[in-house]
Chain A
Amino acid sequence: MSGGAQDQAVRTGRIARTFIYVVLIYFALFYLLPLFIMAINSIKPLSEITGGNMMSLPAEPTLAPWKSAWSTAQIGVEATGLKPYFMNSILMVVPAVAISTIIGALNGYILTKWQFRGSNIIFGLMLFSCFIPFQIVLIPMARLLGLMGLAGTTWGLILVHVVYGIGFSTLYFRNYYAAFPTELVRAAMMDGAGFFRIFWRIMLPVSGPIAVVCIIWQFTNIWNDFLFGASFADLDSMPMTVALNNLVNSSTGVKEYNVHFAGAILAALPTLLVYIVAGRYFVRGLMAGSVKG
């Protein structure tokens, strides 16, 4: 029996506990299996995959599929590998995350500490905008990007992601700042501190945790986006997810499964890394995005 059983109301017998562990471990395998299979098959030569068992460990491990996925695989018309698209995603994600987070912080500050008539309605409108199906904005967005000369550019994608990211970043900062004592802000104001000074000196220094949550959430969402990338990017600005899909679903030639898997892991690596390093914040962000308040 586990040691903490006394302070736990629900007590379980030995058989029940064994059963619980079996179920929990079974599910852990279910979640790990696809990643494990992708990983081991990404270092097998193709002949070993098509002729062998996907569950067996590689007999002759090779890094060739990874090299191919990164720098020589055929994507679209050119054999460039995923490297340029990985860079596209970085160039798109970094500014989009930075801008939407800063705007979100300012909005959250205003919506909690400088409320005015109608500010709650504005927040409600922003909240709803987080959840709209983006199909409803695809057609006008395509038109507008064309008119602005941003169609098919990374800047166009940055604009799209900032605009549709503000809702969530505002939500995070608003809920976080709502718990911050307004008296402190008021006292600073009596001392003559203005709008920006209060934000800079009082709010920002306590914003670390929520900034991490917000950055992780935006990073994951924008990196993983497919719909906007597929709709608005051209070959020069195509993000990683779209390039991966082109690699995997291109109908020409032999299906190089090992290269596909290496590519899929490459596409997953940045968000996985963030998850491993800062998983606690990732979970908090997910929760804050769903269970508001």
Chain B
Amino acid sequence: MARSVRAPRDLRTVLQDILPKLVLSPSLAAMLVFVYGFIIYTVFLSFTNSKMLPSYDLIGLDNYVRLFGLSAWTTALINLAIFASLYITICIAIGLLLAIFLDQKIRGEGVLRPIYLYPMALSFIVTGTAWKWLLDPGIGLENTMHLWGWDSFKFGWIKDRNYAIYTLVIAAVWQSSGFVMAMFLAGLRGIDNEMLKAAQIDGASNWQLYRRIVIPLLRPAFLSAFVILAHLAIKSYDLVIALTGGGPGRATELPATFMYSYTFTRNQMGVGAASAVIMLMGVAAIMIPYIYAELKEQK
């Protein structure tokens, strides 16, 4: 793949050798300060008794002990587990279904595909605003069904602390599933048709064709979709703010909203920093092996 340019050394080439590093250095410096330096700073704060302002009194692991003793944090983690597993599973299921169906030489594919994908261009705040209202029993879907004569129809999940978390899943799936479809579709279009034909001559049914050959070949797309969706789930913040504000009560609190409120409104910066560190560890556990494998493959 990409090889470096090597030329005989004289004064000019020495200069030319330094120049690239010189041009790259501001980005490198910015990254080391704003990403890795800041990560180290936040990790440091998580070991201090910082409240409203950063303090430099080390208190060991106290913040982590406190964090995992807080019911609000436990709730946030459980909510994340529910939200992430449903969000990832449903997005992948819908994405795969739509991609396979769209791949059947469908007339109007050029119209359908952009319709499936456009929510990805929207801000979660816009998505949240729309769904908040659609899901509101007093004025949205439930009300419409009543007006259409289906009086027993009930859909008040967004006001119910046991079900509100699922409304987040609905809105998030609406936003991201088209994107997953696009990833699978790209994977499907890369599969060699001749191989499928050969399998069919051997008597494989459509179902077997997909189960035994196509879906296993889509493994890279599954992996990418999983990684992207998982890290989006951990980072989810805007949607919660716009759709439920973390409520009713704390029913839809996620780690990202927990971190924000503990750090900036409850003045528990040490605990907030500790929660951010846990979030980072979650993302790192997913992304680092993936990036490592990708970079290795490219060599």
Contact = CB atoms under 8 A, between A and B. Distances in A.
A189 B3 CA distance: 14
Contacts of A2: 104-107
Contacts of B72: none
A140 B255 CA distance: 19
A204 interface: no
A166 interface: yes
B67 interface: no
Contact of B16 (A35, A195, A279): A195
Interface string A94-119: 00000000010011001111111000
**Main secondary structure on chain A at its contact with chain B?**
helix
A182 interface: yes
Nearest to A4: B105
A57 interface: no
B123 A249 contact: no
A166 B27 contact: yes
Interface stretch (B58-66, B127-135, B151-159): B127-135
Interface size, B (range)? 35 or more
Contact of A138 (B124, B224, B276): B276
Given A4-B105, A10-B196, A291 B20 contact: no
Contact of B42 (A7, A126, A137, A182): A137
A170 B224 CA distance: 20
Interface residues of A, number: 111
Contacts of A274: 121
Interface centre among B42, B199, B255 (most CB of A within 10 A): B42
A196 B221 CA distance: 38
Given A268-B126, A291-B220, A136 B279 contact: yes
B130 A34 contact: yes
Nearest to A33: B134
B143 A133 contact: no
Given A141-B38, A182-B5, A264 B126 contact: yes
Interface string A269-290: 0011011100100110011001
Contacts of B161: none
B235 interface: yes
B20 A110 contact: yes
A205 B102 CA distance: 36
Given A8-B105, A24-B112, A226-B241, 13 more contacts: A23-B101, A24-B101, A24-B106, A53-B147, A110-B23, A113-B2, A124-B291, A129-B36, A133-B234, A137-B34, A177-B2, A257-B139, A264-B129
Given A34-B131, A120-B295, A267-B123, A12 B104 contact: yes
